[in-house]
Structure 1
């Protein structure tokens, strides 16, 4: 993976020539609008930060303990509860893709945020109302459980998915530790009420700050360029590619006061180069103004970058399926362990806060210790690359799932011996998974942002969220599939409602095997990856 360096390559050329380009073919780049500076500029980011804090507290107030609520109050099965939570998590990360599209093409950012906040608040109100409704029996941790109230289910899940639609923002690491404790020790309704209050305050703050928030109007989607290259490639499929790639169509700025970056031509995916062929027919028809017939080399290379990133992105989906266990089966595993540590009762969902703290510490260790240490190990003084760091995270995920499997084996033995295992034994798997998240999840965002063309950075950040969404969807599908297959012929299955009679360890071993295969698939594509090269004409 030595090609995956930290920086994009730069090629600088002093080239005043262009290939018979008339003035009508020059790409007109509008001047960037000047930002107005004033003494109150600091208030807008302060408001945004405050809103994000409140949104994160509300979201995590629901999310961290959701699998426990569905099991204990709504009386869902172990497997179905885990599958439902993964599906909801996936939806909450998928919605930002739709929100970004609406903001870019229809509504603009302000209107999109306002409508999302209103839906978010409505969803939280429904969640709180559903939690106030009595459940018969009130709590159910054993098996079998009586069916829950259908009206309560309808209200709760309607609110749940409204929150998923409304919370389409960036997830932060703030944790509502107080709300989690209130839910399990005082009242679920009061705990959800706290989260609802956070969203209400966020909506009020957003409306109050309206006069000083900068609004971006819709400007269209960069996907249009992608489709233009594909269409132009097929339209020109009968044309012969020139032996000299410099003969392909590219716009070169004649403004000597300002250099315009463009992407260097690469030799892979040659079929797409046909979109940039300058034929006599194209020039006669003035197709330099018809982007569905001829595209620039830079536009073609932008599509090539997306294709190269696709395998890296796809392996992240399987990584996401494994890491989603923190919100589902890890918590369920903790509920059947001894949650007493000394005189304290530890809510299983609160261990997620321990994982976030570990991620924060690992970020510091990696940046201050690991990366500087690699500079001394490599002969040329280079440091571990972003692709290599992502690979380390993929590798660590194998161990995280294996540790969870070994723990479950040990827990089942302790149950048969009549000595429930302490929940503190879960800490190692959280520590390792936090290492994997530090190396992979954070670095992936940096890598996608660095490799993305300037016109597609926002879109690739959205695709990073989509990767997380699909990972949760995949986790939901795997759980549902394993539960269905292993319960055939009247068997209790691997993930029964009573985990003491199941084999959750087999499920974790499956995830470890999937992570193992995923790691080697990643290694193959990462070793073939070519960094983008930017050419700046001076």
Structure 2
């Protein structure tokens, strides 16, 4: 009788432990204080509205600055068409390169949340400087008198480009981390949450395009008809709202700890490939894709499921 009771007690204890483990995420995510997170209190669609709202406002702000920039350079800074186009092309290239910086910092050092937070503040400072350069008479050239258009002074150029390139730097941390941080709110080990994650990306791009649509229509109209101080000021206001919305959801977010630098891992793959070039391929192909451990060896990283799509 004692043995039967002991066995029943062990089974009951195992069931309770299994039930307790299901209350927490299985992907290693933690809360803001670094503790394991309860599924019912964090992540999924409880956290995502803050990320989506923040991204919509940020895209409205970003496109509101960049979409009509050639007009500002030619009409207000009195640059020629060729020079203005070259300036915008250089800035746009920088705008799309900086996410490489944000990605490395997020993956290896800061994590996605703090990368978004830090770069958003840089972004907002840049937009404030740009708005001031368009609003304060001393920071922009005087209006044209007939065919005479005084060029911008070195100081005016410095202030304008300081704001412009702070925006380019700031967007690096947001573009690289916003959608992955949204994906972190869904537990890949939970089949129901894994399905919901696909829906998140649909809504994510819907809100991105909504912000872009408002910029391409309303913001451009304001800039052309009501002035550039207001035309830059409204996107700056929305960038402030983006930051506020993002921080407001902090208690509900799930966080993945940063791991090793992806650059280091890339170099390791190249070196390992060269060193093992003469090894015989095993007959069991599964040995090529998996390690015996259940979890990945690098802290902050998860094992990827094997896929035949890119063979």
TM-score by length of 2: 0.65
- Tell me which residue corresponds to 2:246: 206
Please give the secondary structure, in 2, of the residue aligned with 1:38.
helix
Most deviating of 202-211 and 184-193:
202-211
- Tell me which residue corresponds to 1:146: 150
Shift of 1:223: 4.0
- Tell me which residue corresponds to 1:532: 310
Shift of 1:116: 0.9
For the Cα contact (< 8 Å) 1:133–1:152, is it kept in 2?
Answer: no
Please give the secondary structure, in 2, of the residue aligned with 1:57.
helix
Deviations 1:240-283 (A, max 9, x none): x54x663997476779xx9x9xxxxxxxxxxxxxxxxxxxxxxx
- Tell me which residue corresponds to 2:268: 228
Shift of 1:141: 10
Shift of 1:210: 1.9
List runs of 5+ in structure 1 lacking aligned partners: 1-30, 261-288, 290-452, 456-529, 534-538
Cα pair distance change 1:254/1:111, threshold 3 Å: closer
Cα pair distance change 1:247/1:203, threshold 3 Å: closer
Cα pair distance change 1:213/1:191, threshold 3 Å: same
- Tell me which residue corresponds to 1:103: 106
For the Cα contact (< 8 Å) 1:71–1:78, is it kept in 2?
Answer: yes
List runs of 5+ in structure 2 lacking aligned partners: 1-25, 30-36, 176-204, 298-302
State yes or no: 1:160 paired with 2:164. Answer: yes
Please give the secondary structure, in 2, of the residue aligned with 1:147.
coil
State yes or no: 1:120 paired with 2:123. Answer: yes
Please give the secondary structure, in 2, of the residue aligned with 1:199.
helix
- Tell me which residue corresponds to 2:15: none
Distance (whole Å) between structure 2 residues aligned to residue 532 and residue 108 of structure 1: 28
By relative contact order (CA 8 Å, sep 6+), the higher-ranking structure is 2
Deviations 1:149-168 (A, max 9, x none): 32221111100111111123
Distance (whole Å) between structure 1 residues aligned to residue 304 and residue 292 of structure 2: 21
Cα pair distance change 1:86/1:140, threshold 3 Å: farther
Distance (whole Å) between structure 2 residues aligned to residue 97 and residue 140 of structure 1: 45
For the Cα contact (< 8 Å) 2:108–2:262, is it kept in 1?
Answer: no
Distance (whole Å) between structure 2 residues aligned to residue 141 and residue 189 of structure 1: 23
Please give the secondary structure, in 1, of the residue aligned with 2:40.
coil
Please give the secondary structure, in 2, of the residue aligned with 1:83.
helix
Deviations 1:116-149 (A, max 9, x none): 111111001100100013344425997x743113
- Count the aligned residue pairs: 233
- Tell me which residue corresponds to 2:40: 38
Deviations 1:19-44 (A, max 9, x none): xxxxxxxxxxxx73376322664331
Alignment of 1:294-305 (within 5 A): none
Please give the secondary structure, in 1, of the residue aligned with 2:98.
helix
For the Cα contact (< 8 Å) 2:41–2:252, is it kept in 1?
Answer: no
State yes or no: 1:186 paired with 2:226. Answer: yes
Distance (whole Å) between structure 1 residues aligned to residue 84 and residue 163 of structure 2: 17
Cα pair distance change 1:199/1:139, threshold 3 Å: farther
Alignment of 1:448-459 (within 5 A): 454=304
Distance (whole Å) between structure 2 residues aligned to residue 60 and residue 206 of structure 1: 19
Distance (whole Å) between structure 2 residues aligned to residue 156 and residue 253 of structure 1: 53
For the Cα contact (< 8 Å) 1:128–1:192, is it kept in 2?
Answer: yes
Decide which of 235, 246, 260 is 2:283's aligned counterpart: 246
- Tell me which residue corresponds to 2:79: 76
Cα pair distance change 1:218/1:184, threshold 3 Å: same
- Tell me which residue corresponds to 2:57: 54
Distance (whole Å) between structure 1 residues aligned to residue 292 and residue 141 of structure 2: 76
Deviations 1:400-433 (A, max 9, x none): xxxxxxxxxxxxxxxxxxxxxxxxxxxxxxxxxx
Shift of 1:185: 0.8
Shift of 1:72: 1.1
TM-score by length of 1: 0.39
